A and B are shown apart, each in its own frame.
Chain A
């Protein structure tokens, strides 16, 4: 028996196990090509089947419930008796402009940030995926980093890279990134480039490991994103203070390599997930364009490849979601409440093939890995959302058959007294951690202590 085990161990070690009949051992060490379909390539445990939960990072509204920001968990499994219902709401007991979230590389923890109070909340989503638990709050980051407004939370191996939007000096758009251990300890910060055509602004992060390329985009600072939208639009000077660049960084050295001019505030970045593709897309909020970022002759370039709606009407594209095969792109435009689909078969010439009004105002759009389900939220920023009857606050789930979106369920966040629904992430019961204690211990420590004496 021992001989068999020894031979098997040697074979396993050299990777021939797949040639052996070992009872259909499944590949459990997962290498992520991407999340469902928009997160870090370093993240594991993709949900490629039916998601069980939608986690919604929700802005508190004064007078609604406890008025605080909260992580809301919605049952998203059609087979569940509570399908489409709110399962849990974890309040952080204060209002700090809840905005975006991101998983750690092992998908055990969900980091969520406040753009106003610059706090980062870390939720345990693996002990019980149906009942996320707040386990740590990072406070005092502006003093520690000089940065304000943690926006994008991007998994790196064993750590989190966070893109901020602003700074403590003037609350403008010049900002930086900070990297933390997975448990929340600050490692160091990186300034966004202000030379070589850089405006120093930041927004999203996208990494292509095969190219050692980190791509960043640019939005605006605290002074603008906390300003009332009506007032902001009237302020010509403030309207000049939006980012107009994307930056290609050398990931290993974390040094900026090239600043790309992408006017009109390029927001979310999506690398194509198709094996062998090495291009990314981003949409510009103010100019309503889709931009393609790729290498031509070894040089990184940004190309304006499509128009979203009528730019003169400022549809305000606010989020994009790329399909797992890199052939399609959902685009949400806030002002007209439309969810649009672009055929990306030729990324040099995206073509819009579908659109539907999915709300009076729409912000984030997320799709399942198989592309069959599309989720939409309503809130952009507390002071930028529409008012009165146009201020719908919801999560809407749609089924996509390749031709049309059909409403599957809706959660009214005002009626449920939750707040403004912003960013979404998926959860699954299958990710619940199984206990493994490693077996009973032998008294080796005592033996070592004796030897050391």
Chain B
């Protein structure tokens, strides 16, 4: 029953209202064509143990290799419209656009990985993902968390993701966290090839970057 209620809310918000609530940064330029530039190997994406929405422990590398991956580090309570909600929106746009790309869509996956395991249990991540969890999309979207700080710390360190809980938020137990929004583009071999922060997270640019990596792999993109 509640699942249907959530679906109804999402459906209501998926159109114009949604677009009004969240906006990605304005791209006032013509992005260079896919394959016309090179994305450098910035670093190897870290590995570690994560939990999927079924609370099953899995290697993170199982979700970051073999396909081009767009990975968002996030937490579900984030309320900054230029933060995690914007990343979610951007990934949704990317998934929607990729599903139309016959040659690309089976070669890309999306990941939302929480850095707040205290609150973001596998169940909370399943609720956060809603109908996207396990959906039959050519572009799968995985919602992951960790068991706690010990599992999380090396992953955050490996990605260079800052996360802190301001003293006041900890005191008031509001769940607020401070972090720089970061979304990572990872190639098939597990190397981070681009990092997008709030000023830089433009879905069309991300799409071109994904295609650039696919072209590098010899894929003929549309």
Contact = CB atoms under 8 A, between A and B. Distances in A.
Partners in one complex: yes
Interface of A: 2-3, 5-7, 9-18, 22-23, 25-32, 41-42, 44-45, 105-106, 108, 156-159, 179, 181-183, 185, 187-188, 209-213, 250, 252-255, 278, 430, 433-445, 447-448, 451
B102 interface: no
Nearest to B9: A10
Instruction: Report, nearest first, the 5 A-B pairs whose CB atoms are least far apart.
Output: A29-B83, A438-B149, A253-B37, A441-B148, A31-B198
A42 B167 contact: no
Contacts of A5: 124, 127
Looking at chain A's contact residues, the main secondary structure is loop
A438 B179 contact: no
Nearest to B55: A444
A44 B200 CA distance: 13
B40 A13 contact: no
A157 B195 contact: yes
A438 B152 contact: yes
A187 B42 contact: yes
Given A7-B9, A31-B198, A212-B27, 13 more contacts: A13-B85, A30-B80, A31-B181, A32-B198, A106-B179, A157-B182, A209-B199, A212-B31, A435-B164, A436-B163, A436-B165, A437-B148, A439-B117
B138 interface: no
B162 to A, nearest CB: 4
A212 B202 CA distance: 11
A181 B21 contact: no
Contacts of A250: 32, 37
Contacts of A158: 42, 159-160, 182, 192, 195, 197
24 contacts: A6-B2, A10-B10, A10-B128, A13-B85, A14-B85, A15-B88, A17-B79, A22-B79, A29-B80, A29-B180, A105-B197, A106-B162, A157-B197, A158-B159, A179-B40, A183-B160, A187-B41, A187-B42, A210-B27, A252-B31, A252-B32, A255-B37, A436-B163, A438-B151
Contacts of A185: 43
B66 interface: no
Interface in B165-222: 165-167, 169-170, 174, 176-182, 192, 195-200, 205
Interface in B139-164: 146-153, 159-160, 162-164
B84 to A, nearest CB: 7
Contacts of A442: 147-148
Given A15-B85, A212-B27, A438-B152, A27 B197 contact: no
Most chain-B CB neighbours within 10 Å: which of A11, A108, A181, A441?
A441
Contacts of A252: 31-32, 37, 205
Interface residues of B, number: 84
Given A25-B174, A438-B152, A32 B42 contact: no
A29 B179 contact: yes
Nearest to A10: B6
Contact of A32 (B32, B59, B85, B199): B199
B41 to A, nearest CB: 8
B49 interface: yes
B93 to A, nearest CB: 13
A322 to B, nearest CB: 18
Contacts of B124: 5, 9
B76 interface: yes
B42 A441 contact: no
A314 B45 CA distance: 52
A252 B204 CA distance: 12
B25 A210 contact: yes
Nearest to B37: A253
Contacts of B86: 15
B146 A433 contact: no
A196 B6 CA distance: 58
B149 A13 contact: no
Most chain-A CB neighbours within 10 Å: which of B84, B150, B181?
B150
A434 B89 contact: no
Contact of B2 (A3, A26, A179, A443): A3
Contacts of B28: 210-211, 278
Contact of B6 (A6, A22, A32): A6
Contacts of B180: 29-30, 44, 105-106, 157
Contact of B164 (A6, A18, A436): A436
B177 A436 contact: yes
Contact of A42 (B5, B81, B148, B197): B197
A255 B37 CA distance: 9
A441 B29 contact: no
B59 A448 contact: yes
A20 B124 CA distance: 19
Contacts of A106: 162, 179-180
B200 to A, nearest CB: 6
Most chain-B CB neighbours within 10 Å: which of A42, A212, A451?
A212
A44 B179 CA distance: 9
Contacts of A213: 29
Given A444-B51, A448-B59, A439 B80 contact: no
